[in-house]
């Protein structure tokens, strides 16, 4: 019984640990930043209401930007700094992270923040201390209109002297803070301009899709963009489907790639006419393009196979986890039922033995009383025999 109880406790501990691990895999319980970042705005801050660096610069000017790093935790923090150019991501927003491995540098970008800014790459901040780091700027020699836009990415993680265990990996997870940097030299207005760089087809999630790439080739960010893409079959005025996107933004000298989807339907191979329109409500400008596209059955097989592989891995992982949990629960239920059965059997055996005890005690008492009775008879006969001997005369 003791061994079975140990096994039961072990099963319960395994199930509890597994569910706890699964919870931590799904939900990230770590919130907040161990290191806070505060830009110290200089005197040439162009917009005093901005919380980021919005600086009015001059050609060949050199300037140090001070950045205050505050460690509010009880442990050392390892901080790395990155200088990044602003780009436009797939969801239509300005992105200040490092996307150099995802997108190539736009051909219209003459000078980026990475070209003119430098800083320390790594800093260690002691617990409950504040340090100031410097980002050095050196402007291009020739004056330019528009802006240079980028960001200072600060990534902090707990300073570890040894190997990390599974229990403290959450504490060592990196935390990110980004400070935008906007540099201008003149107030000369810039006229925005968009170009359609290309339309192409890809195969994702087992179906064909169309993607289009639009370029902002001017040194100005473009706000509140509305994109409309209409797809027609070749030599037909009948609209096959359309996509409309609103509220998009584009960074200066950057490109945006967006998907033209046919919701809940498969895009069949064939020739198509695509009409794309882009409109900025901020500048009241509009651009239109017409492109032809041929979609074949064998488009992008490598991406399709990769998507299918990921789906298969996820499917089998879910099956394995579900089966493992089900088996543990089944084993736990069987052990509980067996324990209850043994308990009922022990109780029945106890009551049965208890019922037999009175019947076993009576024969003993009877035999004892009979033995006492025979002893008294023997004593009585012995006494009578002695009396008879005394009363008989000697011859």
Q: What's the pLDDT tens digit per position in 68-86?
A: 999 988 889 999 999 999 9
Q: Which of 83-87, 146-150, 198-202, 312-316 has the lowest mean pLDDT?
A: 312-316
Torsion of CA 341, 345, 347, 350, to 10 degrees: -170
Tell me: do 46 and 184 sit in the same domain. Answer: yes
Average pLDDT over residues 156-166: 58
The neighbouring-strand residues paired with 287 are: 278
Tell me: do 97 and 123 sit in the same domain. Answer: yes
Q: Which of 60-64, 106-110, 334-338 has the lowest mean pLDDT?
A: 334-338
| Portion of the chain with pLDDT greater than 90, in percent | 49
Tell me: do 83 and 24 sit in the same domain. Answer: no
pLDDT reading at 364 higher than 90: no
Tell me: do 293 and 312 sit in the same domain. Answer: no
pLDDT (tens digit per residue) in 20-33: 555 544 444 343 45
Is residue 331 in a domain?
Answer: yes
pLDDT reading at 1 higher than 70: no
Which residue bears the tokens 């055996």? 349
Tell me: do 40 and 176 sit in the same domain. Answer: yes
Is residue 45 in a domain?
Answer: yes
Tell me: do 73 and 101 sit in the same domain. Answer: yes
Average pLDDT over residues 216-232: 95
CATH number at residue 53: 2.60.40.10
User: Is residue 75 within 8 Å of residue 45, measured between CB atoms?
Assistant: no
Average pLDDT over residues 209-236: 93
- pLDDT at 180 (0 to 100): 96
Tell me: do 198 and 104 sit in the same domain. Answer: no
Is residue 245 in a domain?
Answer: yes
Tell me: do 152 and 77 sit in the same domain. Answer: yes
pLDDT band at 198 (very low <50, low <70, confident <90, very high): very high
370 versus 231: which is more confidently predicted? 231
Alpha-carbon distances of 276 from 34, 144, 246, 298, 352, rounded to whole Å: 46, 32, 14, 25, 90
Tell me: do 208 and 99 sit in the same domain. Answer: no
- pLDDT at 166 (0 to 100): 44
DSSP codes of every residue in 79-93? EEEEEEE-EE-TTS-
pLDDT reading at 12 higher than 70: no
Residues 6+ apart with CB under 8 A from 90: 256, 257, 258
Domain containing 39 equals 32-161+170-188
Is residue 373 in a domain?
Answer: no
pLDDT reading at 305 higher than 60: no
DSSP codes of every residue in 127-196? TT-EEEEEEEEE--SS--SSEEEEEEEEEEEE--SSPPPTTSTTTTS-EEEEEEEEEES--------EEE
- pLDDT at 106 (0 to 100): 95
Structural domain count, the chain: 3
Tell me: do 77 and 178 sit in the same domain. Answer: yes
111 versus 384: which is more confidently predicted? 111
- pLDDT at 28 (0 to 100): 40
- pLDDT at 18 (0 to 100): 62
Is residue 367 in a domain?
Answer: no
Q: Which of 46-50, 288-292, 308-312, 353-357 has the lowest mean pLDDT?
A: 308-312
* Mean pLDDT, the chain, integer: 82
Tell me: do 183 and 278 sit in the same domain. Answer: no
Tell me: do 155 and 40 sit in the same domain. Answer: yes
């Amino acid at each position: 019984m003791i061994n079975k109880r140990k096994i039961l406790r072990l099963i319960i501990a395994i199930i509890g640990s597994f569910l706890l691990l699964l919870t931590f895999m799904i939900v990230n319980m770590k919130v907040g930043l161990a290191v806070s970042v505060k830009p110290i705005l200089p005197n040439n801050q162009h917009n005093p209401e901005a919380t980021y660096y919005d600086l009015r610069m001059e050609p060949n000017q050199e300037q140090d930007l001070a950045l205050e790093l505050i460690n509010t935790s009880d442990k050392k923090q390892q901080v790395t700094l990155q200088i990044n150019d602003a780009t436009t991501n797939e969801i239509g927003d300005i992105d200040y992270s490092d996307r150099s491995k995802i997108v190539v540098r736009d051909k219209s970008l003459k000078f980026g923040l990475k070209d003119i800014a430098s800083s320390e790459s790594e800093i260690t901040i002691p617990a409950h201390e504040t340090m100031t780091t410097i980002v050095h700027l050196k402007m291009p020699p020739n004056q330019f209109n528009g802006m240079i836009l980028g960001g200072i990415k600060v990534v902090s993680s707990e300073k570890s002297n040894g190997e990390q265990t599974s229990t403290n990996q959450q504490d060592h997870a990196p935390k990110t803070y980004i400070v935008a940097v906007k540099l201008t030299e003149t107030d000369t207005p810039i006229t925005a301009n968009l170009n359609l760089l290309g339309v192409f087809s890809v195969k994702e999630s087992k179906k064909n899709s169309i993607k289009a790439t639009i370029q902002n080739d001017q040194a100005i960010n473009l706000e509140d963009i509305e994109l409309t893409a209409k797809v027609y079959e070749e030599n037909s005025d009948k609209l096959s489907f359309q996509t409309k996107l609103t509220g998009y933004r584009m960074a200066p000298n950057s490109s945006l790639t967006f998907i033209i989807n046919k919701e809940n339907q498969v895009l069949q191979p064939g020739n198509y006419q695509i009409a794309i329109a882009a409109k900025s409500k901020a500048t009241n400008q509009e651009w239109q393009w017409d492109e032809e596209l041929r979609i074949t059955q064998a488009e992008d097989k490598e991406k399709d196979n990769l998507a299918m592989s990921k789906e298969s891995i996820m499917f089998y992982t879910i099956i394995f986890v579900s089966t493992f949990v089900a088996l543990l629960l089944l084993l736990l239920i069987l052990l509980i039922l067996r324990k209850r059965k043994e308990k009922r059997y022990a109780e029945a055996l106890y009551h049965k033995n208890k019922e037999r005890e009175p019947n076993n005690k009576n024969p003993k008492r009877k035999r004892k009383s009979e033995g006492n009775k025979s002893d008294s008879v023997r004593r009585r006969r012995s006494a009578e025999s002695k009396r008879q001997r005394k009363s008989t005369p000697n011859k």
